[in-house]
């Protein structure tokens, strides 16, 4: 059983998947930083100095209003954090777009295998006939080599 598990774990696609998950987790943290630290501040500035992470609605809480989400949560208020959700959606869109660009460029780098021919030329009448043909459909010549 241990031998079977070792064969399974060392199979190429399992190792590739593990590497993909690890790289994906690291990539996710990079994208999170990109969204929260680089992209969202200019968008918030363009929209009137709005910090999306602090957009929330108090559903139930002690006090009428709170300046920040952290302040509301510290006070024990129940909040609907639509700003954080907006950040998450933008992050997802960026990740999806970057993955699209990476896959598109990787596919462009792959060399396409030459297509296998589906026809051959009849040596007698020079017509195009299927590869597996034993007789030419045009001149009815035998296409199999003659046996000695």
User: How many structural domains comprise the chain?
Assistant: 2
In the chain, what is the greatest distance between 2 CA atoms, to the nearest angstrom? Answer: 103
Whether residue 15 is found in the same domain as residue 56:
yes
Burial of 24 from C-beta contacts in 10 A (0-12 / 13-18 / 19+): exposed
Structure confidence at residue 104 (pLDDT) = 86
Residues 63 and 119 in one domain: no
Tell me which residue range forms the domain holding 131.
Answer: 115-148
Q: How many helices (H) and strands (E) does the chain have?
A: 5, 4
Q: Decide if pLDDT at 148 tops 70.
A: no
Residues 29-59 have pLDDT tens digits of 887 787 778 877 787 788 776 667 778 888 8
pLDDT digits (tens, 9 = 90+) for 51-69: 677 788 888 866 668 888 8
Give the residue-averaged pLDDT of 108-121: 83
Non-local (6+) Cβ contacts of 142 within 8 A are: 134, 135
């Amino acid at each position: 059983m241990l031998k079977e598990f070792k064969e399974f774990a060392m199979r190429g696609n399992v190792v590739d998947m593990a590497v993909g998950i690890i790289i994906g987790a690291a990539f996710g943290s990079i994208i999170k930083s990109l969204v929260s630290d680089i992209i969202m501040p200019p968008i918030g500035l363009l929209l009137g100095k709005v910090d999306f992470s602090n957009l929330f609605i108090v559903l139930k809480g002690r006090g009428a209003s709170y300046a920040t989400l952290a302040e509301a949560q510290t006070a024990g208020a129940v909040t609907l954090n639509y700003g954080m959700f907006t950040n998450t959606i933008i992050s997802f869109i960026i990740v999806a777009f970057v993955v699209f660009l990476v896959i598109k460029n990787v596919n462009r780098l792959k060399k396409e295998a030459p297509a296998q021919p589906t026809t051959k030329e009849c040596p007698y009448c020079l017509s195009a006939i299927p590869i597996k043909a034993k007789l030419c459909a045009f001149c009815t010549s035998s296409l199999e080599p003659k046996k000695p």
